[in-house]
Amino acid sequence: MADYPVTVEIRIDWSELDLFGHVNNVMFFKYIQAARVRYWETIGLTQLFAQTNIGPILASTACQFRKPLHYPGAIRVQTRMEFIKNSSFGLQHSIVDGNGDLAAEAQDVVVVYDFTHGQKVPFPLGIRAAVEAIEKRIF
């Protein structure tokens, strides 16, 4: 858990199952989205957007499915920063089932975007400091 400073606990709902009785692959992306937004909130990126109209925009996301999930159950989605570049950053997620088994791994690339001017902007220094504080490492 120390490697993943932001965690979201999610209960699997029966409505998330597919025809074959396991959690539909689309739901994994919903779980990842919940974790991504929680990470943004934790580092102050959603608050920055509310104040300045500068915030995150998802450039890409990918998921590697390792084990099916079933109802009833619960999962833990763990998130950490992978990299920070000039105007983009990468998040790494792991989805762990109730037994502690890895169900999926996912990666996001996110761009810091000025929604007023319609262009990417440099990664804010204050947000970098918040990331480094929760990650306990320098980027």
The pTM of this model reads 0.96
Cα-based distances in Å from 107 to 18, 31, 93: 23, 12, 6
Rounded Cα distance, 35 and 16, in Å: 17
Residue range 108-122, pLDDT digits in tens: 999 999 999 999 999
Indicate the CATH number for domain 6-135: 3.10.129.10
Rounded Cα distance, 131 and 138, in Å: 9
Domain chopping of the chain, boundaries: 6-135
- Maximum alpha-carbon separation in the chain: 47
Residue range 17-59, pLDDT digits in tens: 999 999 999 999 999 999 999 999 999 999 999 999 999 999 9
